[in-house]
Amino acid sequence: MDILITHIKTLVQVSDTPPAFRAGQDMSELPVINDAYLYIKGGRIGGYGPMSGLEPFRKQLGTRKLREINATGRMVFPCWCDAHTHLVYPASREMEYVDKIRGLSYEDIAKRGGGILNSAARTAVVSEEELFEDAMPRLEEIARYGTGAVEIKSGYGLTTESELKMLRVIRRLKERSPLTIRATFLGAHSIPMEYRGRQHEYVDLVINEMIPLVASEGLADFIDVFCDKGFFTVEDTERMLMAGLKYGLVPKIHANELDYSGGIQTGVKYGALSVDHLEYTGDAEIEALKGSGTMPTILPGAAFFLGMPPAPARKMIDAGLPLALASDFNPGSSPSGNMQLIISMGCIQYRMLPEEAINAATLNGACAMGLEQELGTITVGKMANVFITREMPSIAFFPYYYGSNRVETVILNGKVIRPTGR
């Protein structure tokens, strides 16, 4: 049934002709309508405006059956677009978390066969069904925090069979979940133990066996490579991105998390939709990103969890770049997909203004998944993925009041998925 939300305190991120993304100074622009209504028709945004225009609008609608929601004191936002997650995984890894507290680094743990390889060993022995049953509640959980679109990566397989298994799970999630999902093939997430010292042979396997099979089953939208110190080199990355591009897989890569790895420049060179992490971003990287069409994507959850220095978000925005914020939801470096927390971290740790952080998690996040025509703003014709907040005094209250769920009702594809209550 169509939905009419009335008496909205503030309708946030509303635009008749939205840009594909916001960059630099424009990131602090967040258009709103105060005291607004929003009409949702058949899964799409059908109209909006100030309450003063509601009666004439109602006349246009005639006698259509509607579900009306009175949102007095509440705000309405487009749902978060989380452009980087690994939320299909076989098991949590809290023992490594304890090891980290004891002083081991992410790289120490990886060298010992922990980390990503630990997850890969478990993926090999769980069924597609189990992976699916575990992942679905995670999707439901992030939706309750307001996420409406999410990218999910493979990369805990690291064998042809297990990578395909993960991607088939993501395909089933796409079919069964109301969230909009994009799938990324991340066969080059880590180098399996048996390939240590002959890493190029693993790269050959990704290129000659995995990519063609992934493409023939149409299992992925994007290709990712962890291009960083101790993982894949620029040369490895280039070879894999070229192979992926032949099959229409657009790159979205892990870059510059552990060092000035050249990953950012490589991503830009191959037309990556996004480069993600970016803790090691200097002037050369910022220059490479300018005007490139590659969305720099920061993952505050991973930097927080691993105790890393934050990416220079302020410097990047001040240099005129766009930024997206994403959760990196995964069992090793960011075991949370709560985008509300990510936005608060964006403001507190990265000195982003609330408006900048909200742009980074809506429109720019959509752009980092190639979904900016469909999602990320309140625009007539876009998909009706929106949430209604609890009562709140201002937009800045959203990142400020971190730690509790400020989302009360989530609407995906024009349907209320779960009134979360109080």
Instruction: Find, among 320, 337, 326, 332, the residue nearest to 277 by Cα.
Output: 326
Nearer to Fe ion, 334 or 389 (CB): 334
Q: Is 409 in the site for ligand NIG (CB under 6 A)?
A: no
For 72, which DSSP code? T
Task: Tell me the two tokens of residue 21.
Answer: 């993304």
Q: Check binding of 187 to ligand NIG (CB under 6 A).
A: no
Indicate the residue among 281 and 330 with the shorter CB distance to ligand NIG. 330
Closest approach, Cβ 238 to ligand NIG, in A, equals 19
Looking at this protein, which amino acid is placed at residue 57? F
| Residue entry with tokens 């657009």 | 250
CB of 276 to ligand NIG, least distance (A): 7
Residue 165 binds which entry of Fe ion, ligand NIG, none, with Cβ cut-offs from 5 to 8 Å by kind?
Answer: none
Site for ligand NIG in 347-406 (CB under 6 A): none
Task: List, in order, residues 6 or more apart from 225 with CB less than 8 Å away.
Answer: 186, 188, 232, 236, 237, 240, 241, 251, 253, 254
By C-beta, is 84 or 406 nearer to ligand NIG? 84
> Residue 116 binds which entry of ligand NIG, Fe ion, none, with Cβ cut-offs from 5 to 8 Å by kind?
ligand NIG
The yes or no reply on residue 228 touching Fe ion (CB under 5 A) is no
Tokens of 237: 């990355």
Contact indicator for 414, 41 with CB cutoff of 8 Å? yes
Alpha-carbon distance of 388 to 377, in angstroms, equals: 14
Q: For residue 224, state whether it binds Fe ion (rule: CB under 5 A).
A: no
Per partner kind, with CB cut-offs from 5 to 8 A, the member of Fe ion, ligand NIG, none near residue 115 is: ligand NIG
- Cβ-contact 246, 215 below 8 angstroms: no
Q: How far is the CB of 298 from ligand NIG (least distance, A)?
A: 12
Q: Which helix (H) or strand (E) holds 173?
A: helix 160-176
Among 157, 187, 262, 331, binds ligand NIG (CB under 6 A): 331
Which residue's beta carbon is nearest to the bound ligand NIG?
Answer: 332
The interface partner of residue 365, options being ligand NIG, Fe ion, none and the CB cut-off 5 to 8 Å by kind, is: none
Q: How far apart are the first and last CA of the chain?
A: 25
Q: Which of residues 59-88 bind ligand NIG (CB under 6 A)?
A: 86
CB of 115 to ligand NIG, least distance (A): 5
Q: SS3 for 44?
A: strand
Residue 119 near which of Fe ion, ligand NIG, none (CB within 5-8 Å, type-dependent):
ligand NIG
Asked if 161 and 123 count as a contact pair (C-beta separation under 8 A), the reply is no
As to burial, measured by CB atoms within 10 angstroms (0-12 exposed, 13-18 middle, 19+ buried), residue 58 is middle
Q: CB of 302: closest distance to Fe ion in angstroms?
A: 7
**Closest distance between ligand NIG and the C-beta of residue 221, in Å?**
18
Binding mask 300-329 for ligand NIG (x = CB under 6 A): --x-------------------------x-
The 8-class DSSP code of residue 372 comes to T
Strand stretches in 30-85, DSSP E:
32-41, 44-50, 66-70, 74-78, 80-82
Q: Report the DSSP pairing between strands 407-412 and 386-391.
A: antiparallel
8 Å CB contact between 42 and 414: yes
For ligand NIG, the closer CB: 13 or 274: 274
Q: Is residue 280 a contact residue for ligand NIG (CB under 6 A)?
A: no
Q: In this complex, which beta carbon is closest to ligand NIG, that of residue 256 or of residue 265?
A: 256
Structure token pair of residue 6: 């009335």
As measured in angstroms, the least distance from the Cβ of 234 to ligand NIG is: 16
> Judged by CB under 6 A, does residue 116 bind ligand NIG?
yes
Q: Does 328 bind Fe ion (CB under 5 A)?
A: yes
CA gap 85, 183 in Å, rounded:
10
Among 163, 236, 257, 279, binds ligand NIG (CB under 6 A): 257
Chain center to CA of 132: 19
Contacting Fe ion within 96-125 (CB under 5 A):
none
Measured CA to CA in angstroms, residue 356 lies from 3, 28, 103, 279 at distances of 29, 5, 34, 19
Q: What is the contact mask toward ligand NIG in residues 84 to 113, using x (rule: CB under 6 A)?
A: --x---------------------------
Question: Residue numbers of the site for Fe ion (CB under 5 A)?
Answer: 328
Question: Residue numbers of the site for ligand NIG (CB under 6 A)?
Answer: 86, 115-116, 119, 226, 254, 257, 302, 328, 330-333
